[in-house]
Amino acid sequence: MSHSDHSTDSHATSRPPLELLRSVLGSFILPLVVVGVLVSIFLGGGNSVPTASMAEDAVAARIQKVGTIAFAEANKEPRTGEQVFQAQCGACHATGAAGSPKFGDAAAWGPRLASGFDALLNSALKGKGNMGPQGGGAASDFEVARALVYMANAAGGKFPEPKAPAK
């Protein structure tokens, strides 16, 4: 091929500036217009001006609470020892987990029962060994005492039901 054959190459041809400008603008503006129309059709189908109630709802949704604090009701009936055992104590005492005396196991509870109710209640409220303090937790001290009597008596103890605190 001679040098003159390259002069007819497609790269050598030039476009008029106006045609080039139209082609560049068309390749950018046309897709933007198409995308804008599609977005307005699919996302902007509703009322574009929010009403006062919509604005209030949107504000309320943005500033909603992420948590709450609930205080126990003063007149709430205290739970029974069995209810507290099932809700809280049974997690360990039902299976003997973490070295806890298993519910109904007289041999495991025997030495603890010999120390007396007050010592057992003190250990339950303040914690002992692997058991954390139960006082001030989800159960009131009276409910913890009821749960202790429930567990101890199931293992052979003879503790009376604790008296409810004065209101």
Angle, helices 117-126 vs 141-154, to 10°: value is 130
Average pLDDT on 28-57 reads 75
Residue 52: pLDDT band (50, 70, 90) is low
Is 143 within the bounds of a domain?
Answer: yes
Q: How far apart are CA 164 and CA 142, in angstroms?
A: 7
Is 134 within the bounds of a domain?
Answer: yes
Is 32 within the bounds of a domain?
Answer: no
Q: CATH no. for residue 117?
A: 1.10.760.10
The region, left, alpha or beta by phi > 0 then psi within -120 to 50, assigned to residue 47 is: beta
* Cβ(152)–Cβ(109) below 8 Å: yes
CA 133, 124, 160: angle at the middle one, nearest 5? 150
Neighbours of 6 (CB within 10 A): 10
Rounded to a whole number of angstroms, the distance between the first and last alpha carbons of the chain is 111
| Domains of the chain: total | 1
Give the residue numbers spanning the domain of 140.
Answer: 81-154
pTM of the model: 0.56
Is 123 within the bounds of a domain?
Answer: yes
- Long-range CB contact pairs, 120-129, < 8 A, 24+: 120/148, 120/152, 121/145, 121/148, 124/148, 129/98, 129/99
Residue 115: pLDDT band (50, 70, 90) is very high
pLDDT at 63: 79
Is 85 within the bounds of a domain?
Answer: yes
Tokens at residue 50, please? 């929010």
Residue 14: pLDDT band (50, 70, 90) is confident
Neighbours of 149 (CB within 10 A): 20
Is 121 within the bounds of a domain?
Answer: yes
The answer on pLDDT for 119 being more than 90 is yes
Query: Which of 13-22, 113-122, 125-134 is most confident?
Result: 113-122
Is 67 within the bounds of a domain?
Answer: no
Is 27 within the bounds of a domain?
Answer: no
Residue 156: pLDDT band (50, 70, 90) is very high
Q: What is the pLDDT of residues 68-95, one digit of tens each?
A: 676 656 667 899 999 999 988 988 999 9
pLDDT at 47: 54
